[in-house]
Amino acid sequence: MANPSPKIPHFFQPLLHNFAANLAIPVAFYEKYLEGRPGCGTRAELRSRLRRQGWKVGMVGRRIVDGWAEFADAHELKVGYFLVIKYDGGTVFHVSVFDTSACEVEYGDEHDEDDAVEGDGEELKMDSGQTSYVGTLRPSYLISLHFPACFCVANKLNVSCSEIIVKDEAGKVWPVKVKCKKGGNAVYTMGGWRSFVEGNGLQKGDRFNFRIVSKGKIPVLSFHRIGMRDQTEVATRAKRRKAAEVPELVTSAGEVEHPSLDEDEHDNVEQDDEEDTVEEDDDEDLSEEDYEEEDMVKEDYDKEEDMVDGDDEEHKTELDHSRKRMKNRNPATDDSTASYVGTMCRAYLTSLYFPVYFSRANNLDSCSEIDVEDDRGKLWPVKIRLKRNTNLVYTVGGWTSFIRGNGIRKGDRYEFRVISYGTKPVLSFRRIGPKHKAALEEEEKVPELALRHFEKTTGSLIPGKYLIRTITQASLDRSRLFLGINFAKMNGLADRDRSGDMILRNSQGKSWVATLKREGNSSRFFITSGWTEFALANGLEAGRVFRLEVVEPESKLLTLKLTRRVTLEDL
């Protein structure tokens, strides 16, 4: 991000699981800069590098609601991203998007999206490395897609290239013949393209992103649709895809792939991602039919897999067990187990151990080999083993080559994410950079700002709404805060069994994810993982008295907001 001037008010906002619902402006920011201004609280305009003219959005109080989903769609916002939002007066906000590697997302400079969709000119947005571009499917593109010349030249598609592999969102690969235009550098698709279009249910007007995955003899390009979030549409198109005949393919590496085997698993991943973008409460709306349909798809997967591994009964039994586990996975929580973030320790440079929950949730404990996709999209085969007596899955052959090949060092932070299931899962490995400077500076300001806000805060004590406690050293040492049975009852924690993730928020709107746990089968609940981090970040040392307030009590996700913090002497 460009070094923001302190004269331009700005705030940052991390995107949590329920970010798709709305964008909340921090209370202190709203009160200081927006409250009382004409038009504020009813409408606003969000501008970004993606579209000069901005998005008109509606506000309810300090929340941006109407039009926010479209903005999030267009920018492909995801959980873990964060936004830096500058306010230059009036009702206009400039939004910069930062991804999980803390780097600003490039959308192409000052590109006008609407013009691109409807205009006749070449609509092209290409990243700085020219390894990907964004476009819109014109009617003629459903027959034959014309790649932009600069994209072809940058990736040598125009040099002795007669075939490419297109990898769709489900990870399925489609061989497509291509031809170079006469006297030009541009390349267009021939045979195989229409199968891809039909198989993926592509339609006129669909926006897409093509990215170069590998530039070998037969280049591999990944294809992603942009902005298709509607559940029904996703499901409908997935069905169409399933109906398409997919032959067994032989990759350039000479390996036999069974695209249909992995496809269904990918669909689940895809759906999980979709669900992350909807409100938490929507999870409850998944009908029995939704789950049954998912199971039916998995049954097909099982049958096909059995045909492949029919001779190996023992292996098949193991696979069955693991698939049963997969079927029991709750789609609403899958994203939390599809990836994890870690720090490279010295031992991991020779052999990496996966967290047990991660390897179990993704069936790594029943696999002997995985492919690890690095930042450049290159796949590294890595053998894995299950450690006896401990259930730990660890890497063996091939791992150190990956480490050396990518210059990974001790202390590097990384994210592993499963991007393809099956007998040989594919895991993406992404290095995560240090937190953005601006974000760190904002975090440092939080306790002081919070204190000022709490000092202003008063309110009557509504039973069940507040949790008032004195911080003890033991509470911080063990990262546990007991909520009290009455508080749990008042908020229906036991009735709806809301154990799991929860949100702790300070008055600035900054949120921490914590874990709410039930003590055995009792009616006692306590906050654990995340509690100490939250307490320390907000100056809640031992001896302090604080008040937490229930936010959005009707929500499935318990959210507690720190609204008062005092010393014992103040009471």
Partner DNA sequence: CGAAGAGAAGCGCAGCGATC
Partner DNA sequence: GATCGCTGCGCTTCTCTTCG
**325 sits near DNA (criterion: CB under 7 A):** no
**480 sits near DNA (criterion: CB under 7 A):** yes
Q: Which is nearer to DNA, 125 or 383 (CB)?
A: 383
Stretch that binds DNA, among 85-93, 132-140, 300-308, 472-480 (CB under 7 A): 472-480
Q: What gap in Å lies between CA 35 and CA 392, rounded to an integer?
A: 54
Q: Which is nearer to DNA, 447 or 484 (CB)?
A: 484
Q: Which is nearer to DNA, 397 or 433 (CB)?
A: 397
Residues numbered 146 to 205 that lie near DNA (CB under 7 A) are: none
What token pair was written down for 148?
A: 């932009």
Q: Which of 253, 461, 474, 568 binds DNA (CB under 7 A)?
A: 474
Contact 395, 337 (CB under 8 A): no
**387 sits near DNA (criterion: CB under 7 A):** yes
Write down the least CB distance from residue 333 to DNA, Å.
Answer: 15
Q: Contacts from 214-218 at CB under 8 Å and sequence distance 24+?
A: 214/377, 214/378, 214/379, 215/155, 215/156, 216/252, 217/252, 218/161, 218/163, 218/164, 218/165, 218/175, 218/252
Q: Residue holding tokens 């007066």?
A: 89
Q: Which of 67, 175, 342, 464 binds DNA (CB under 7 A)?
A: 342
**497 sits near DNA (criterion: CB under 7 A):** no
Q: Provide the 8-state DSSP code for 99.
A: -
**268 sits near DNA (criterion: CB under 7 A):** no
Q: Residue 104 burial by CB count (10 A; 0-12/13-18/19+): exposed, middle or buried?
A: middle
Q: Where are the alpha helices (DSSP H) in 309-378?
A: 313-328, 334-338, 356-361
**392 sits near DNA (criterion: CB under 7 A):** yes
Q: What gap in Å lies between CA 367 and CA 385, rounded to an integer?
A: 8
**Strand-pair partners of 92:** 45
Q: What is the spatial order of strands in the sheet that 339-343 belongs to? A: 339-343, 413-420, 426-432, 369-373, 379-387, 392-395, 353-354
Write down the least CB distance from residue 471 to DNA, Å.
Answer: 8
**478 sits near DNA (criterion: CB under 7 A):** yes
Q: What gap in Å lies between CA 186 and CA 146, rounded to an integer?
A: 7
Q: Which is nearer to DNA, 151 or 487 (CB)?
A: 487
Q: Which is nearer to DNA, 240 or 469 (CB)?
A: 469
Over the window 58 to 97, marking each residue x when it contacts DNA by CB under 7 A and - when it does not, the resulting string is: ----------------------------------------
Q: Which is nearer to DNA, 33 or 353 (CB)?
A: 353
Q: Provide the 8-state DSSP code for 30.
A: I
Residues numbered 344 to 373 that lie near DNA (CB under 7 A) are: 345-348, 350-351, 353, 355-357
The distance from CA 558 to its chain's CA centroid, rounded to whole angstroms, is 21
| Other beta carbons less than 10 A from residue 357's beta carbon | 11
Residues numbered 511 to 530 that lie near DNA (CB under 7 A) are: 517, 519-520, 523-524, 528-529
Stretch that binds DNA, among 29-37, 206-214, 389-397, 424-432 (CB under 7 A): 389-397
Write down the least CB distance from residue 494 to DNA, Å.
Answer: 11
Q: Which residues bind DNA (CB under 7 A)?
A: 342, 345-348, 350-351, 353, 355-357, 383, 385, 387-392, 396-401, 469, 472, 474-475, 478-480, 482-488, 517, 519-520, 523-524, 528-529
